[in-house]
Structure 1
């Protein structure tokens, strides 16, 4: 990896002073369930850096099947995370997980859910009840998705937490099921929780901006049918997830997590073309509806994300032009029927 890419990666995994101050307030050890997913390493790196800067000796566990091989597990161990290999759907393995004060729940199944609906529901909706029982005496930040909201008219207000969910397709419906199960056990067991509705996190290796920027760089047409999106820099989202441990309540607190702007896909693509000095071709026409979120509640609590959209575009464009490594997991943000 060249120096430019190394500097980008280092900055992405460096905790902000705000995170360090909030980490000082979090009592007890922390366990991250589903740590081998796309956000897991970044969240873990920020958490470990913040704990080090705060002078705390908190134990952090990271649990996953680690089916992608030993490398991701070793990377986490190198950060100081105590990794545990476990299949969450195995009763014995789930029951053996250490009971700690703080849980960040990142387990979920999205890509390939169409055609594998039964497993999607089992993992996304059934498993949370078992986890909630095992960790009934903990605080739980449970990752969810903005996909639980319906497509809305772009002329209307984007859904805030007061807006009734209306999930499109079985993936989104199973995610709403996950929320409802966690909410149920929050009430019945008085477990403090926060439902973390994220939409869309931007990394240099994957995400909406990577998909649009790569299309521009390679000279492929950009489809603007899904004409508007919300995005947030993944390190900002990861920090908010950790800080959310201080805002768990019973009944469960619900929070949308994304950037403050409703962004035009056409405008984003034009900015990439400008930065990359490329020509651009558009196909389709902007639909009158889009999947959007109003995250003003999280901005009131955490402040606005620290990384702006123009900064994100510049960083992602640099990563693409410097041939940085990519994760081949498209967001399918253009999907309008809920089929993932």
Structure 2
């Protein structure tokens, strides 16, 4: 196994920081919407940390589990699983109590043409979950899409910036935040709004998309000329550790890597590794969807997997012909239509 692949595997094992924090988290951990891209690895990371420290906490994952293999895989890792439709009031009410809830459920892709379901998942459901788990700590996943575009030289939007989401997906996500904020204040629920963009791993993400376009000699649209990225394992760890930083009123935290990454530079890096010249269309705009995560870095330290390591891992993965998830991020989107 190469050093880079060893790094990839090591990044999905609990760090000393996580091991210390997992002992301070009181009670079971419930992940709602565990069947998505980040949920399975996050649940496994939590379980490993709990087992390593000899804790007796349960890790419980809830999802529709439209793919039964995902539920089977989680069970094999020692995670309790429950197949449930969270929009069904009776099924939501029947879920077990837990002192710690990570809310991962949501709808992004397929919003256009199905806007009502997106609002139900992203705005209505958070209110129902907050009512159901008013006695828990809640880390609620959100997105940098609640921000307006900011000038690249500004260094990204900060948590104190006024949200101005573009399109119904971003608007519904702001609705999610507002519902959690409302119930946090009403019931004194310690809550953290986890504004993430963009998590990547070897199967999906902005880096994988750009790398594949370079490898396949497809044109790369530079209209969104800059992005933020963070390794999924780092984002998972921060999410779990965030359970110790929930507050009333709800705390807002941007989660991403420290760099403002030029898409052109990124493509050229992959071009060097693949021995190919990237093809581009359009020109960089002066604005992009960017977040400043300095506050999270102050709390948790910088991400452990660096941008150059992510690039090398992604290139090696593609060179080896490994599987990828065909779920594009649409990071190039400037009109908010997903």
Q: TM-score, normalised by structure 1?
A: 0.97
Counterpart of 2:176 in structure 1 is: 178
Counterpart of 2:54 in structure 1 is: 55
State the shift of 1:16 in Å. 1.3
State the shift of 1:276 in Å. 2.0
Q: State yes or no: 1:278 paired with 2:276.
A: yes
Change (3 A) 1:151 1:126: same
SS at match of 1:61: strand
Counterpart of 2:41 in structure 1 is: 42
Counterpart of 1:131 in structure 2 is: 129
Q: Does the 8 Å contact 2:32/2:63 carry over to 1?
A: yes
Superposition RMSD in Å: 1.4
Q: TM-score, normalised by structure 2?
A: 0.97
Runs of 4+ in 1 over 6 A off after TM superposition: 2-6
Within 5 Å, give how 1:41-190 maps onto structure 2.
Answer: 41-67=40-66, 69-190=67-188
Counterpart of 1:320 in structure 2 is: 318
Q: Does the 8 Å contact 2:205/2:329 carry over to 1?
A: yes
State the shift of 1:8 in Å. 6.2
Deviations 1:257-303, CA, capped at 9 Å, x for gaps: 00111110001111111122222222111011100001101001001
Q: Which moved more, 1:39-48 or 1:231-240?
A: 39-48
Q: State yes or no: 1:192 paired with 2:198.
A: no
State the shift of 1:55 in Å. 1.5
Q: Does the 8 Å contact 1:5/1:319 carry over to 2?
A: no
Structure 1: runs of 5 or more not aligned: none
SS at match of 1:337: coil
Alpha-carbon distance in structure 1 between the residues aligned to 2:182 and 2:111: 25
- How many aligned positions are there? 338
Q: Does the 8 Å contact 2:5/2:313 carry over to 1?
A: no
Alpha-carbon distance in structure 2 between the residues aligned to 1:161 and 1:182: 16
State the shift of 1:5 in Å. 9.4
Deviations 1:120-173, CA, capped at 9 Å, x for gaps: 111100011110010000000000000000111223342110101101000000
Alpha-carbon distance in structure 2 between the residues aligned to 1:308 and 1:5: 12
Q: Does the 8 Å contact 1:14/1:45 carry over to 2?
A: no
Q: Does the 8 Å contact 2:11/2:234 carry over to 1?
A: no
Could you tell me which of 262, 265, 290 is aligned with 2:288? 290
Counterpart of 2:230 in structure 1 is: 232
State the shift of 1:3 in Å. 8.1
Counterpart of 1:24 in structure 2 is: 23
